[in-house]
Chains A and B, each alone.
Chain A
Amino acid sequence: MKRSKAKKIRLKVNGEDYELEVGNQSDQVKPSHTLAHTLRETLGLTGTKVSCNEGACGACTVLMDNKAVLSCMLLTVECDGKSITTIEGLRDSETGRLDPLQEAFINHSAFQCGFCTPGIIMSAKALLQENPSPTEEEVKEGLSGNFCRCISHYHVIKAVMSASREARS
Chain B
Amino acid sequence: MENTYRYIGKVTPRRDAKEIVTGGAKYLNDLKLPNMIYGKVLRSPHPHALIKKIDKSKAEKLDGVEAILTWEDVPDWRGGTPRATRILDQKVRYVGDAVALLAATSEEIAEEALHLIDVEYELLPPVFDMEEALKPDAPQLYDQFPGNVVTPGVPFFGPKSLQEVVMGDVEKGFAEADVITEGTFGYENMPNPIPPEPPGAIALWEEPNKVTLWVSNQASYMDKITLHHVMNRQVEVRTIGGPCGGSFGSKFMSWQVQCYATLLSRATGKPVKLVFTKEEHLAAFTLRPASRMTARVGMKKDGTVTAISGKWLIDTGYYSMTTQSQVAVGCGEVQIMVRCANWNLKPVIVCTNRNASGIVRGFGGQELKCTLIPLLSLAMEKLDIDPFQFLKKNYVKPGDGYFWRDGIWYTYRGVDYTEAMEKGAELFGWKEKWKGWLKPTAINGTKRRGVGVGVHGNADIGEDASEAYVRLHPDGTAMLYSCVTEHGTGQRTNFVKMVAEVLQIPMDRISVTPSDSLINPYEFGPAGSRGTYAIGGAIIAAAENAKKKLFEIIAPMLEADPSDLETADGFIFLKNCPEKKIPWKAMGVDRTCLGYGRFDPDYTLSNCMMTFVEVEVDTETGIVTLVRVVNATDVGKIIDPLGLEGQLNGCLGSAGIDSALFEEMVLDRSTGHMLNANLIDYKWRTFSQLPIIENVALETPFPSHRFHAVGVGEIATSPGPSAVLMAISNAIGTWLHEYPVTPERVLKTLGKTSTRAPKGGVV
Contacts and interface: CB of A to CB of B under 8 A. Distances in A.
A146 B17 CA distance: 19
Given A46-B30, A52-B679, A59-B196, A109 B21 contact: no
A47 B23 contact: yes
Given A45-B23, A112-B489, A149 B18 contact: no
Where chain B touches its partner, the secondary structure class is: loop
A51 interface: yes
Given A46-B30, A115-B245, A154 B23 contact: no
Contact of B678 (A32, A52, A105, A153): A52
A54 B690 contact: no
B643 A109 contact: yes
Given A102-B21, A111-B20, A114-B20, A154 B649 contact: yes
A97 B651 CA distance: 35
A8 interface: no
Contacts of B647: 112
A10 interface: no
A144 B243 CA distance: 25
Which of A49, A91, A113 counts the most chain B CB atoms within 10 A?
A113
Interface in B174-204: 193-198
A157 B653 CA distance: 17
A151 B490 CA distance: 14
A52 B278 contact: yes
Given A113-B197, A151-B653, A154-B690, A56 B679 contact: yes
A156 B686 CA distance: 13
Contacts of B693: 154
Contacts of A56: 678-680
Contacts of B13: 106-107, 109
Interface string A123-155: 000000000000000011111111111111111
B521 interface: no
Interface string B84-113: 000000000000000000000110100000
A116 interface: yes
B650 A112 contact: yes
A115 B278 contact: no
B248 interface: yes
A117 B246 CA distance: 12
Which of B643, B647, B684, B688 counts the most chain A CB atoms within 10 A?
B688
A12 interface: no
B642 A108 contact: yes
A75 interface: no
Interface string B243-279: 1111110000000000000000000000000000110
B20 A26 contact: no
Interface string B746-759: 00000000000000
B645 interface: yes
Contact of A117 (B21, B105, B489, B680): B21
A88 interface: yes
B243 A149 contact: no
B304 to A, nearest CB: 36
A88 B22 contact: yes
Contacts of B22: 47, 87-88, 90-91, 98, 102
Interface string A48-89: 111111101101000000000000000000000000001110
B245 A140 contact: no
B646 A109 contact: yes
Contact of B245 (A45, A105, A113, A153): A113
A10 B678 CA distance: 33
A91 B650 CA distance: 29
Given A46-B30, A115-B195, A144-B687, A155 B645 contact: yes
A30 B106 CA distance: 12
A144 B246 contact: no
B27 A49 contact: yes
B26 A46 contact: yes
Interface of B: 11, 13-14, 16-18, 20-27, 29-30, 105-106, 108, 193-198, 243-248, 277-278, 486-490, 642-643, 645-647, 649-654, 678-680, 684, 686-688, 690, 693
28 contacts: A26-B106, A52-B678, A52-B679, A88-B22, A90-B22, A109-B11, A109-B13, A109-B17, A109-B643, A111-B488, A112-B246, A113-B197, A113-B245, A113-B487, A114-B243, A115-B196, A118-B21, A118-B23, A121-B21, A147-B679, A147-B686, A149-B654, A150-B488, A151-B650, A151-B652, A153-B687, A154-B645, A157-B687
**8 closest A-B pairs (Cβ-Cβ)?**
A47-B23, A115-B245, A113-B488, A87-B23, A112-B488, A46-B30, A114-B20, A56-B679
